[in-house]
Amino acid sequence: MASLIEFVDSIVWHGNIGNPAPVWCDITTKFLIGAGVGIPAASLCINRRLYKIASVHVTSITRQAKRRAIFIDISIGMGIPIIVMTLHTIVQGHRFNVLEDIGCIPTTYLTPPAYPLVLMWPLLLGCISFIYATLTLVSFWRRRVEFAVVLKSNSSLTASRYFRLMLLSCIEMVCTVPLGAYSIYIDTAGVHVDAWISWADTHFDFWFIEFVPASVWQNNHNYVVAVELGRWLYPISGLLFFALFGFAEEAMRHYRVAFWWIARHFGIQPRVGNLSSVNIYNKSQHLNPNISIPTSQSPKGVKD
């Protein structure tokens, strides 16, 4: 979704510095705040689940334990981003900024509360993911003989899928911590941190929208890096996920099923060798979606 937002913005605001869709900007800028936290939060969910699998001492899990695990994952993956989106309102100095050739970006009034309320979360979640990933590798190495038995008890998780998830989480983990720290630095470098006075002071003239021509924002090197970093990390993360899971055996099977389902509507029948894939679709009547995860903190404008 974040990649789609960036794609639409890059088209609508190419060579444009107007405000043709203010409601769109209100919604998407707040969503980008959540996406910047949601990606490392999703990585934390994956690393935590992988650690549970690698360190489990029993091969059967009760229904109550499964429900509790799902509740915790939802709380982390959705609850934390929603909380941060809400907390961002406290340090949101004005509605948003519009950058020529980029589109709408969220704005944060740089005061001391901005760090714990908004800026620290990708780095914090990345550090926790790092710890879980390290514990996962240690547990897997110590219990690698028992690991095959654990995987056999989980019909939805193969060894190949587990290792791809582990590789994805490790890549994300390695990227999130340094990028989270660098994002905080690049967003605040050379910018004066104002003292927090009051809610009224922070939100004075809140409905103001700052329009920044490309000739202006492109002259600030730190700002260019922050904007482009937040702009490209979403599609890069998506491509990384596709590279790891888009060519897996189960994914290729679903591609064949989808292809022949469409081909049948044009009178094209599958060969005998492809009947097994088609029969899978006839039995299930649906495709099992993969859940995408990519990492980055959205760039934020700073109130002068």
Res 3 pLDDT > 70: yes
**Confidence (pLDDT) at 74:** 94
β-pair partners for 104? 98
**Confidence (pLDDT) at 192:** 84
Task: For 105, list phi and psi in degrees, rounded to 5.
Answer: -135, 150
Name the more confident of 189 and 205: 205
Give the whole-angstrom CA distance, residue 33 versus residue 36. Answer: 5
Res 291 pLDDT > 60: no
Per-chain mean pLDDT for the chain: 81
Q: pLDDT, tens digit, for every residue of 102-155?
A: 999 999 999 999 999 999 999 999 899 889 988 888 887 777 666 666 666 655
Res 173 pLDDT > 60: yes
Task: Determine what percent of the chain is predicted with pLDDT higher than 90.
Answer: 38
**Confidence (pLDDT) at 269:** 75
Beta pairing, strands 96-99 & 301-302? unpaired
Which range (53-62, 131-140, 188-197, 250-259) has the least confidence?
A: 53-62
H or E stretch including 237?
helix 221-245
**Confidence (pLDDT) at 185:** 85
Give the whole-angstrom CA distance, residue 260 versus residue 60. Answer: 37
**Confidence (pLDDT) at 284:** 43
Task: For 234, list phi and psi in degrees, rounded to 5.
Answer: -65, -55
3-state secondary structure of 97: strand
Res 296 pLDDT > 70: no
Across the range 70-78, mean pLDDT stands at 94
Choose among 90, 177, 166: nearest CA to 127: 177
Tell me the pTM. Answer: 0.77
Q: pLDDT, tens digit, for every residue of 236-288?
A: 888 888 887 777 777 788 888 888 788 888 877 776 555 554 454 444 444 34
- What single letter denotes the amino acid at residue 273? G
pLDDT band at 35 (very low <50, low <70, confident <90, very high): very high
Res 85 pLDDT > 80: yes
**Confidence (pLDDT) at 184:** 85
What's 298's DSSP letter?
P
pLDDT band at 163 (very low <50, low <70, confident <90, very high): confident
Token pair listed for 9: 């913005």
